[in-house]
Amino acid sequence: MKSDAIKKGLERAPHRALLHATGITRDGLKKPFIGVASSFTDLIPGHIGMRDLERFIEKGVHSAGGYPFIFGVPGICDGIAMGHKGMHYSLPSRELIADMVESIASAHALDGLVLLTNCDKITPGMLMAAARLDIPAIVVTAGPMLAGRRKGKKLSFVRDTFEALAKARVGDITEDELCSLEIEACPGPGSCQGLYTANTMACLTEALGMSLSNCGTAPAATSEKRRIAFDSGERIVEMVAADVTPSKVLNEAAFENAIRLDLALGGSTNSILHLLAIANETETNVTLEMFDDLSKETPQLVNLRPAGDNFMEDLHYAGGIRAVQSALKDAGKVKDSITVTKDTVFERIDSLDYIDDDVVKSVDNAYKVEGGLAVLKGNIAPDGAVVKQSGVSDAMMKFTGGAKVYDAEEAAMKAIMAGDIKSGDVVVIRYEGPKGGPGMREMLAPTAAIMGMGLGDSVALITDGRFSGGTRGPCIGHISPEAAVGGPIALVKDGDKIELDIPARKLNLLISAEEMKSRQAAFQPREPKIKKGYLSRYAKLVTSSNTGAVMSS
C-alpha cells in the first residue's frame, strides 16, 4: 500500500506517533488509508448537506476494512460570486482544488480517495486531481436541489431569480413577487435544479464511469444519496485492493461516452472547458472539434431547465443517466468500458428496468436532431467559440446585427438594465477571457436580463468570457483567441455588423480583410486588470479556453 511509506519500518516511528495522535489504533495502521476529500461548506447550498454524507462514506469505508480520513477542500458558489469581483475566482479555483487534493493525497501517502463534491468547479477540479494522482478514486456528488414551489408552480434558481429581476425591472412582476421568488426558488440543500454546470458535471462524472449508477441525478438530502455515499465508501476499499485507478477508467471510450451524454442532455457549455481539462491530465486526446463532430450525429434526447421545463428530479425518476445512455446505446452511440464499480457501462445500462419516455426521448423521437452544444468558427473566432444551441430558438439560429461593444460585464449589464440594448443588437463583452478577465467570468446576469426583458429572439450576445449552465438564448462564449492576447474580438467597433449562423457553424465580423488587418496593426495590449495575488499569477499561466483554460507548466 502507498500508505506503507508513512507507517511501516523503524524509521517511521515518529510518523506513527503522529498518526496515533489522531486516534488511530494499532490495527487501524494495517488498513488502507482512504482520504475523504470533502468540500463541505456553509457558503454553498449544494454543499451544506455534506456532513451527513461524510458520515455514510466513513461507515462504508470502515465496513469494508479501510480507515477514512476526512480533509477539507474549498469551494465557491458561482451564483453568489456572479456579477462582481468574486466571479474572477470561480474558474481559477478549479486549479487550486486540483492542486490541493494532489498535495494532501501525496503528502500523506493515501491509498485511495472518495471525492465528495457537487458544484461547478469543484467536481472537475477533483476529477483533474484524481487523473493526475492515478490512485484509486471514486466520486460522490451530493445531488441536485428539489424544485421550489410557489402557488402550485415549480420554481428553479435561474429562471425565477436571475430572469425574474429583469421582469421586475420592466414591470412584468412586482417587487413583492420578486421577494417571494427569492424565498421560494431554492428550498434547501443541493445543486441548482436544472441542467446547469454543477448537475451537468455530476451527470458526466457518472458517464465517465467515476461514480456509482444514479449518483449524478439522485436528489440531495435523500436516503438514496446516503446509500450511494455508503456504497462508495465500501467500494473504494475494494478498488484499492484491485488497483482500479483512474487511468483505467478515464479512457477514450469514457470521454466519448461523456461527450455524447452531454450533447444528448443539452448540458452546460462549461462542460467543454472541464472535459478538456480532465482529459489534459490523462493521455487521452480530446479536442474542441470533437464536441462539434459528435454533436452533428448525437441527437438531443432530454430538455431540462433552463431551456426546457423539466427538472433534475424529473430526469432522475425517469431513469437517470442510464436511461439516456440506453437510448444512445440502442442507436450505437455508447461504447462499453470499465467503471469504478464491478459492472461495465453496458452492464449498468442493461440493469435499468424503467424509462419515462416523456422525459427521455428515443433517438427516433428526439427533441432535436443535433446535440445541445455547437462549436462556431470564423474571422472573429478563428480558434473557436461555443454555443448551447439547445437553448436557442429557431428564430435566432441565423442572425445578423449591429455590435454594441463593452469591455467588461458590468458595463454591459448597466446598458442592458438602462434599456440601451434594442432588437437587432449584438452585445459584445470582451476582456473577460481566461487571461483578460482574469478568470473567464460567467455572463449569466446579462444573458438572464436579456431573456427577462423579452429580447431573447432579437438580441445576440458574444463574449470571450463564458456562461453559466443556466444561460439560454443566442449567447456565444469562449471566443478564442481572447481580446487580451489580441484576438479579433478586440477589434470590433460599435456598429459593426456581426453574422451568426449556428447551422453552418459560423461567426463572422462583416468587415473587409483589409480593414481587419489595419485594425490588427493598430492593436495595443492593455494593462492587466489585476496585478497582484493569485489572479495575477493565474493570468500569466492560464491557456486559452479552446484548450480548456488549463495552467501551462
Residues 135 and 106: their CA atoms lie apart, in Å, by 10
> What would the grid cell of residue 9 be?
519500518
Say whether 223 is catalytic.
no
> What would the grid cell of residue 125 be?
477540479
Q: Is the dihedral of CA 215, 312, 390, 350 positive or negative?
A: positive
The answer to whether 123 and 189 are in contact (CB under 8 A) is no
User: What is the enclosing helix (H) or strand (E) of 148?
Assistant: strand 148-150
Residues 269 and 255: their CA atoms lie apart, in Å, by 16
12-15 own/partner pairs: CB under 8 Å, 24+ apart? none
Residues 30 and 20: their CA atoms lie apart, in Å, by 13
Residues 395 and 393: their CA atoms lie apart, in Å, by 5
Cell 481539462 found at? 277
Cell 482574469 found at? 438
Residues 368 and 441: their CA atoms lie apart, in Å, by 29
| DSSP assignment of 40-90 | --TT-GGGTTHHHHHHHHHHHHHHTT-EEEEEE-----HHHHTTSGGGGGH
**Distance, C-alpha 52 to centroid of its chain:** 24
Query: Residues 468, 480, 544, 545: which is the catalytic one?
Result: 468
Residues 276 and 293: their CA atoms lie apart, in Å, by 15
Q: Point out the residues that are catalytic.
A: 468
